Amino acid sequence: MKRLWDSLNSIIRRSTLLRHVRSVMPEKSYVVRMRRSPKRRFDYKGYHPQDRRAWLLVAALTGLVLFVVLRTSSSRDIIPAPAQPTQVGSAISVSTPEPTATPQPTPTPEPTATPQPTQSVRDMSAPVAETAVVKPSMRITSRQALVDLYWWMIRAGVEKPELDALTLTDKQVSEITLLFSNYFESYTCNVAARRLSVEFKSGLRILLAIENGMVGDLSAEEQKVADQALSAVSSIIKPSMNLWERELAVHDYVAQHCEYLVAVEGFNADDCRGFFQHGACRCAGYVDTMRLLARLSGLEVEMMGGPTTRDSLDSRGHAWNIITLNGLNYAVDVTWDDMSGGASSIEHTYFNLPLSAFGKSRSWDQYSLPPGKYAQAFDGQYYFDTADYAASDVRQGAELAAAQLDKNGAAYVFSTEKLDSDSLTQSLRESRTGTVKSTNLADEMTFTLIKYTES
């Protein structure tokens, strides 16, 4: 330490920077002497009080110089702070400093892209991955628990679940299982042994086999139907189609290639085999085929049923489909859109309606509803071309129908209100020279839809 202090004294004597310091020091030269006190502190002897002040000034200046030097050298290695987000409209963008651009040769200008039309409400991406099936509780202690179990079995392809508890009566199980008759061919139940199993209908077996790559496990008859279904989908579905267009293509394909069968003609008319093998089936066969082809096209479609009060079908059981579009469930009845048969008589009256619109023509049990959120009001968003023939009053409806008759020989008038169909028809007939025939397609609905033809 003594050598260090001697060196420092020598520097001070020769330093031009500290001449002022030496001028305030006494003429007598002092030598710094150090010794360590018993308290382990340094004690300085031989200092003049004025000399101590000078040394404190030297120490302060030295510390300041060291601080500036260290600060300057360390600033060269500081990593730049990350760019701060800048608010741009409703989005957040990050402004990052751009590096100096290296001169590049001027690129050849690309042709200007053609502006694309604005997407309509029906332009939905396709296909949409279905939400993962969540396994419900295996303790079946209520009707709703059994309903949840059945929907899981249908979507997961499980015919014999392992139950932890089954406290429902045989009658309760039978009543709930009957609501799923569009999916189950038969079932067995032993409440005491907590055993419940079902046998899937052919259409569901075929769909599950195709989805899981197990077509080889099907019977020869079902393998042929599976091949026909895949061939039909490849012929009517194009990659560019959105979900609404895919649904419409499947709906029209089923209606065009099927004849409604009132009586069973010696073959199974209640599933897709009747459609593909004979081109004829009952309502259960229509909806089974609709579900099979729609699911293979990337759509989420289920089936449900209940009694109807339409014409001669009073109190008879009926079936229709439920489709999910943009998170909402809509009802589709391809059977009633094809009641008159033939490719030229396809209607779209029962295409993507809120289920509440069916309230005057049919009824259903709450436990038969497929899971999901249901559209509550009719807005025409996914209905069939309502914008092309929508009218708000009788005069507008007559003008619209007249223009369509001149162009197509047939006309539709649609309104979300209940127009006076008699006044509308009379007004149209007064302005036409031919014979105008009208068909009210929505007597049971909460809106008006009339079809006109002229001869």
Q: Which pLDDT score, from 0 to 100, does residue 130 have?
A: 55
Non-local (6+) Cβ contacts of 110 within 8 A are: none
The pairing of strands 410-415 and 436-440 is unpaired
Domain boundaries 203-383, corresponding CATH code? 3.10.620
Of 320, 284, 286, give the one whose Cα is nearest residue 304: 320
Of 415, 424, 414, give the one whose Cα is nearest residue 394: 424
If pLDDT is split at 50, 70 and 90, which confidence band does 249 have? Answer: very high
Q: Which pLDDT score, from 0 to 100, does residue 111 have?
A: 44
Rounded to a whole number of angstroms, the CA Rg of the chain reads 42
Query: 250 with 281: CB under 8 angstroms?
Result: no
Give residue-wise pLDDT tens across range 99-123: 454 555 555 544 444 333 333 444 5
Q: Which pLDDT score, from 0 to 100, does residue 15 have?
A: 56
Alpha carbons 412 and 452: distance in angstroms, whole number: 6
Q: Region 375-381: what's the mean pLDDT?
A: 75
Query: 402 with 431: CB under 8 angstroms?
Result: yes
Q: Region 176-189: what's the mean pLDDT?
A: 94
What sign does the CA torsion over 80, 86, 91, 96 have?
negative
Give the predicted TM-score (pTM) of the model: 0.65
pLDDT at 439 over 90: no
If pLDDT is split at 50, 70 and 90, which confidence band does 30 have? Answer: very low
Q: Which pLDDT score, from 0 to 100, does residue 223 have?
A: 95
Alpha carbons 392 and 414: distance in angstroms, whole number: 8
pLDDT at 91 over 50: no
Element (H, E) at 406: helix 394-408
If pLDDT is split at 50, 70 and 90, which confidence band does 349 have? Answer: confident
Alpha carbons 93 and 84: distance in angstroms, whole number: 9
**327 backbone φψ class: left, alpha, beta (φ>0; ψ -120 to 50):** left
Longest dimension (CA), the chain: 136
Percent of the chain residues topping a pLDDT of 90: 38
Q: Region 39-44: what's the mean pLDDT?
A: 44
Across the chain, mean pLDDT equals 77
Q: Which pLDDT score, from 0 to 100, does residue 43 have?
A: 44
pLDDT at 199 over 70: yes
Q: Which pLDDT score, from 0 to 100, does residue 129 have?
A: 45
pLDDT at 188 over 90: yes
Give residue-wise pLDDT tens across range 64-74: 888 877 776 55
3-state secondary structure of 287: helix
Q: Which pLDDT score, from 0 to 100, does residue 33 have?
A: 46
pLDDT at 82 over 60: no
The pairing of strands 195-200 and 184-190 is antiparallel
Q: Which pLDDT score, from 0 to 100, does residue 7 have?
A: 66
3-state secondary structure of 94: strand
Q: Region 314-325: what's the mean pLDDT?
A: 82
Give residue-wise pLDDT tens across range 409-428: 778 887 766 778 888 888 88
Percent of the chain residues topping a pLDDT of 70: 67
Produce one character per residue of 308-323: b if its CB has 16 or more CB atoms within 10 Å, e if not: beeeebeeeebbbbbb
pLDDT at 52 over 90: no
Give residue-wise pLDDT tens across range 14-23: 555 455 545 5
